[in-house]
Amino acid sequence: MTTGNNRKKVLIVGRMPQAGIDVLKKRDDVDYEILTDDRVPSLHPKLRDANAVTLGATPFRQAELDAAPAMMVVARLGVGFDAVEIPALNKRKIPLMTTGIANSVSVAEHAMYMLLASARLSRKHDRFVRENTWGQRLTDLPADLAGKSILVVGMGRIGSRTVKRCVAFEMDVSVLDPNISEADIKKAGATKVTDLKATLPKVDFVSVHCPKAPETVDMFNTETIGLMKPDAFLVNTARGGIINEDALYAALTSGKLRGAGLDVLDREPPDPANKLFGLENVIFSPHMAGVTKEASDRMAQTAIENILSVFDGRPNAANVVNKEVLS
């Protein structure tokens, strides 16, 4: 509880790695409370005297803001903010802050893992060993990454690091991102493209790193997936909904696409009856691309440092989503 007008209180909702707690403990003017039940109903009473809140997947909308009269900053333990109602925060000039590049390298590494695991037919070959069907190993040969072409969709914090790793793997890298200049893409060792449909028939791999937005929902649908090579691989570590799952299933089961790697799905946690789960040419992970031990520590530290920067009157603008509240 706060004990004076100058003290501030941070409400930690759900998980917070010790690295973040350690940053808080260095401040003798800040109190904190950990709310392990991260469901919205239990959140409201705790918001009454909170000056800041850290969020995992818990939604934070107008109702939550109404329950938090002293709120100064909302901090996400991550980079996504789909469940936060930004217009509501803007009305009260409250910044929404994310953890910036804290998990970018982790997602880029995971994208590389999925590219490799897909190309190397890892699920099938793992099964050959476990089920004593070793003799089948030469019936369907895996693929190299070196010398192959890849389209990286989105070259922001994560996509730029994925490009760097693909170049290091001796791949021919193309980038689709209207917000990045041709010069910057060329400097990274890649080629800028502007037409998705014209590019897809030419590449062996696609790695998705763009935000989920009206213009990117169903970007990979029956038409666009149908343009890809039948021996191509499609990887998504961005957001569910960018790839149409029905179209992907149809392509994977009809031989129109060789494999896929998915860290994200339309519904999370997913429907156990999801048809894709029955396919051996799909590699899954449970939306964990950016959640390694090291990334968790970096995100925790950054989330708390973001909050403290607001308390101290010097918001870390680079991590503020709604920068209009700073003016």
* Structural domain boundaries in the chain: 8-101+292-325, 103-284
Per the model's pLDDT, the better-predicted residue between 327 and 302 turns out to be 302
Contact 77, 300 (CB under 8 A): yes
DSSP letters for 244-288: -HHHHHHHHHTTS--EEEES--SSSSPPTT-GGGG-TTEEE-SS-
Q: Which residue has the tokens 């039940």?
A: 37
pLDDT, mean over the chain: 96
Q: CA end-to-end span of the chain, whole Å?
A: 31
pLDDT band, very low/low/confident/very high, at 6 (cuts 50, 70, 90): confident
Return the pLDDT at 39. 84
Average pLDDT over residues 183-198: 98
pLDDT at 57: 85
pLDDT at 1: 39
Q: Distance between CA atoms of 130 and 121, rounded to whole angstroms?
A: 15
Instruction: Report yes or no: 231 and 252 within 8 Å, Cβ to Cβ.
Output: no
The whole-number pLDDT of residue 2 equals 40
Mean pLDDT calculated for residue range 140-157: 98
- Residue 40: its pLDDT value, please? 83
- At residue 37, the pLDDT reads 86
Does 207 score more than 50 pLDDT? yes
How would residue 214 be classed by pLDDT, with cut points 50, 70 and 90? very high
235: pLDDT strictly greater than 90: yes
pLDDT band at residue 45 under the 50/70/90 scheme: very high
pLDDT computed for residue 5 by the predictor? 64
Residues assigned a catalytic role: 239, 268, 287
Arch. (CATH architecture) of 8-101+292-325: 3-Layer(aba) Sandwich (3.40)
The CATH code that applies to domain 103-284 is 3.40.50.720
The pLDDT of residue 42 is 84
Band the pLDDT of 296: cuts 50, 70, 90: very high
Domains 8-101+292-325 and 103-284 are alike in CATH topology: yes
